[in-house]
Structure formats: structure tokens, C-alpha cells
Amino acid sequence: MKRAFSLLAVLVITLAACAAPAPVQLGPDGKPLPTVHRISAFEKDKITYRMVDSINELRRAAGAPPVTLNAQLTAAAATHSRDMHIQNRAWHFGSDGSSPLDRVARVGYSGVMLGENISETFETELETLAAWMEQKDTRDVVLDRRATQIGFAWYQEENGKIWWTMLMGS
């Protein structure tokens, strides 16, 4: 009896794994519509390093030197991600009128801020990076050969929307 039940349980699990995946919904442009990505507690500590590693791979392929994570740039990025959420718009100015240059100065960054990429999305950090690489202006920030340091942070709302901020400096 136990053997038959065990065999039945394995069969049910196997068949469940074979179920057809949900169909991908396409937008008017023919590309898949984004799905909500919820950042799990397990992922929180890994996202930043996955992003930095991915950026460094792209930089290596482009012949640019690697960047290292900078705590001050990351603090400025985190502040701006939360502020974009409060303002409910992705743009480079803070609710107090601050610019990216103002924000990095406030956290005591002594280097030169070279650029800032931002995004408002429901997608993962790597999908966000892919979108940044599709546009010349944001790709230029990622691949700036002068950059030696990076700051990267996000803020996720209850509904799943994620506000991403990346700062490059030297």
C-alpha cells in the first residue's frame, strides 16, 4: 500500500512538472509583456553583486576596465530609488530639486560622478540592464571607460514595481 501511494505521488509530481507553461503575452510591439518580479529575501543580498558582475562582463567585452562597488555611490543610489518611488516618476531630480551631483556630494563621495541610469519597472535587474544596453545614452554610462566605481540600489513597492538607480564614478 505504501509503495503504491509513493509511486502515485511520484507520478502526480512528474505529471505536474510536465504541465504546459502559461502562454507568454505579447505587447503591441510583438515583445513579451513584462511580468511582476518580486524580490525575495534570498535575492536581496545577491542582486547588487549580480548586477556589478554583469556590468563588468559587458565592460570587459567592450574593452573597458572593471568597476568596484562603492558604498557612498550605493547610498546615493538607494536614496534616489526611494525618492523616485515617493515622487512616482522616474527622473534624475530629487523631490527637493537635487541633481545626481548633489546627491553624491551629500553622501561625501570625493570622486567624480560620471553618470546615472534609472528605471521604473516590474522586471529583474538583468532585464533592466538589458534595457539600458539597448539605448545609446544609458549604454554609454554603463561602458564609460573613465568609470572605476559603481553604486547600485533599488526600492520595490508592495505592488511589485521596482525603482532602479545606478551611479558611475571615478
Question: What parts of the chain have a pLDDT lower than 70?
Answer: 1-25, 33-36
What topology is assigned to 43-169 in CATH?
Pathogenesis-related Protein p14a (3.40.33)
Q: What is the pLDDT of residue 64?
A: 98
Domain ranges of the chain: 43-169
CA nearest neighbour of 81 among 163, 26, 168: 163
Is this prediction's pTM over 0.75? Answer: yes
* 44-94 confidence digits (pLDDT tens): 789 999 999 999 999 999 999 999 999 999 999 999 999 999 998 888 988
CB 74 within 8 A of CB 104: no
- pLDDT at res. 147: 98
Predicted pLDDT of residue 43: 80
pLDDT value, residue 24 = 67
